[in-house]
Amino acid sequence: MGNSLMYSLLPLEAVNLGIPLGLVGVLLSANRIIRLLSNTWASLTFERLGPRLPFIFASILSVITTLMYGLGWGFMAFLLARIGWGLAWSVFRHGGYLAVWSAPENIKGRLMGILWGGMRLGSAASVLLGGVLYDRFGYSNTVLVIAVFSALVIPATLRLSWPQKKTVSKIARSSTLTGLQFALRNTSRRWISILGFVNILFEGILVATASLFLASRLSADFSILGIGTLAGALLATRFSADLFFAPLIGSISDGIGQAPTMLILALVIFLGMLGAVQLDGIALLLSLVCVFIAGSGMFVTGNAAASGLASSTHRPHLFVGFFNTAIDAGAAIGPLLAFSLIDALAGIEYMYIAVAALLLLVTLRFWWVQRRNPLDTISANV
């Protein structure tokens, strides 16, 4: 919950925390950068220890990092907190993917939607409640409240009934490069990894700059609600879309195929961003809502596609780890790229359109690869 809160509040509170605005992108990317290494570590940890100990560790670490966000100890302490959260998230996410790739092909999309819907419920509550609390009670009090809610996961983790850990006699030496080899051997796996990178690159740019974009574009008529509240509500739409729309979109993709579904969603995202940068007021907000809903479906469907493709490898967790690393690379680069243009918001608007167009082109390429390679087609009939 604390991680999601930072995307709406940190750009607004950075100066008061003694953090230069130009370094906000670094902080929002730090948890993604560390995951370029920790995803493989999480994969191997699950092989060796099973799920119980990694999940307990990640639950405790997530609460500690949230508390650190509110201490006001400066850039370095905040950076350590972001790195700590990156380690925890590698564990949380990998555990969820382990469950999905073992499911039948005709329900992978729906299961991925349910998985991310549950994860995003906490994110939606965090940014929505956090935005309201921030506008009324300030930053430190808001972070403390969110940390208390985050701590509820610890007793729940301790009480869960875990499967018995399987004994692993010998595990082959592995790295992120091993996962890269799995990806490069197959055209569909190669392009779904590229697609995952570009999709999250776009989302990372948009989510990291949404509050500043709204502040620059909305008129005084919206000031009564507060930019923090509006940004929180908008980001809550993105996160809650995983809860309310992702299972439905996942089910549709199980029927018509992941690649055609993603092509439709990428087109919606591109058209929605055209509307967002050209319109004002309510029309702007509605355009972004459409983008976030389509982005939710794009993310879930892409992850379901990657999960299905992973099952064709003899060590599927390595490809999943690499795919996670690819999307984390996009998420890490997104805020850095966006905040490098922070002094020229018009540049960010052009970037919105350029990256949305790139996403559409890459999705079209993945759809074409799937169409030309029937054996790789991901659909309900596989």
Query: Could you tell me the residue ranges of all domains in the chain?
Result: 2-159+174-375
- pLDDT at residue 363, as a whole number: 98
- pLDDT at residue 193, as a whole number: 93
Query: Which residues are within 8 A (CB) of 351 and not within 5 positions of it... i.e. 6 or more apart?
Result: 205, 337, 338, 341
The class of domain 2-159+174-375 in CATH terms is mainly alpha
Tokens of 216: 């620059």
Pseudo-torsion of CA 301, 303, 309, 312, nearest 10°? -130
Residue 140 CB burial class (10 angstroms; 0-12, 13-18, ≥19): middle
- pLDDT at residue 22, as a whole number: 79
Q: CA 288, 291, 297, 301 torsion: positive or negative?
A: negative
Tokens of 238: 């993105």
d(CA 213, CA 291): 15
- pLDDT at residue 382, as a whole number: 37
- pLDDT at residue 379, as a whole number: 39
- pLDDT at residue 301, as a whole number: 93
d(CA 81, CA 33): 13
- pLDDT at residue 291, as a whole number: 95
d(CA 340, CA 348): 9
For each of the chain's 382 residues, which pLDDT tens digit applies?
Answer: 778 889 888 988 998 998 988 788 889 889 988 988 898 888 878 878 877 888 889 999 999 999 999 988 889 999 999 999 999 999 988 877 776 766 676 777 777 878 777 777 777 788 788 888 998 999 999 999 999 988 988 898 888 666 555 444 454 555 556 666 666 778 888 999 999 999 999 998 998 888 778 877 776 566 556 667 777 778 777 777 777 888 888 889 888 999 999 999 999 999 999 999 998 888 998 999 999 999 989 998 998 888 888 777 776 777 877 888 899 899 888 888 887 766 655 667 888 899 999 999 999 999 999 888 755 544 333 3
How far lies 173's CA from each of 34, 178, 267, in Å?
20, 9, 41
- pLDDT at residue 77, as a whole number: 93
DSSP annotation string for 306-343: HHHHHTTSSSHHHHHHHHHHHHHHHHHHHHHHHHTTTT
